[in-house]
Structure 1
């Protein structure tokens, strides 16, 4: 595991690779969580996380889906939506360090989710596409997934 000082150097100098899950229910609503950490603090955002060094993407999807959402990858068939870039003027460590993510977006359909973790998001909402696109509390990078 990286020390915080090493990770700070990485954030300052390289892009991070992350995976986001666009989680839809039977009504095509999307699950978003209100972020408790920077970047994108206090915005509604999709659920996901970064890929670790030497971690295969399939293993990262499995870990992130379990850790961030409490779901088992084996129960779903994520649909790859594309590669997106996210640029932030801050980072979780320092307001003076920008963050650049190369984001791999996947979509899954679920019947129900319970006991969502509170480490990255403190509240969760199911929103329609219209609600997402017209909300000022949904981050612009989430809206990019639906353009």
Structure 2
């Protein structure tokens, strides 16, 4: 049985070993419409139960452009036409993962993506979605601190 969509190319026990001993390269798609940011409530560890950006890991031999296209389709239900704007490299460290007693380390590539007012979003990785203003997400205890870092460290508002 495979646990994650992203791990479908790697046997489960091998993927567990990778997470235990190596950082994962991931992409966060910071989906924005006008002055709002789309966040989904995570259904998996790490960051279970928090509102978080959409995204996921880059698979072996997958280009970043192809990973972004796959993740935009999988997590937002859209076909990616233009490459999103790169905003920076971030590190995410978690005490947990999809496996018991295994921590997770991501080298995360953040990209800002302008989107229409999306509806009927996929529910595989997020149980619900919400549009936040930057001020709202910075104040909310339901939004993960790593999401807030995008807006504290770099100005990625709609006009940039």
**Counterpart-to-counterpart distance in 1, 2:114 and 2:10:** 34
**Counterpart-to-counterpart distance in 2, 1:56 and 1:92:** 25
**Counterpart-to-counterpart distance in 2, 1:22 and 1:107:** 5
Establish whether residue 41 from structure 1 lines up as the match of residue 48 from structure 2. Answer: yes
SS at match of 1:106: strand
The size of the alignment, in residue pairs, is 144
2:65/2:83 contact within 8 Å kept:
no
SS at match of 1:112: coil
Please name the residue that 2:137 is paired with.
132
**Counterpart-to-counterpart distance in 1, 2:95 and 2:19:** 12
Please name the residue that 1:83 is paired with.
89
Residues 77 and 2 of structure 1: is their aligned pair in 2 closer, same or farther, counting only changes over 3 Å? closer
Q: Deviations over 1:8-33 (max 9, x none)?
A: 0000000000101111112x110000
Q: Which runs of 5+ in 1 are unaligned?
A: none
Please name the residue that 2:20 is paired with.
12
SS at match of 2:151: coil
Deviates more, 1:52-61 or 1:109-118: 109-118
Which of 86, 97, 102 is matched with 2:102 structurally?
A: 97
Establish whether residue 65 from structure 1 lines up as the match of residue 65 from structure 2. Answer: no
Query: Over aligned residue pairs, what C-alpha RMSD do you find?
Result: 0.8
Q: Deviations over 1:23-56 (max 9, x none)?
A: 1112x11000000100000000000010000111
TM, length-normalised to structure 1:
0.95
| 4+ long deviations beyond 6 Å | none
Q: Which runs of 5+ in 2 are unaligned?
A: 1-8, 153-160
**Counterpart-to-counterpart distance in 2, 1:68 and 1:50:** 12
Q: Deviations over 1:74-108 (max 9, x none)?
A: 1x3410000000000000122x1100000001001
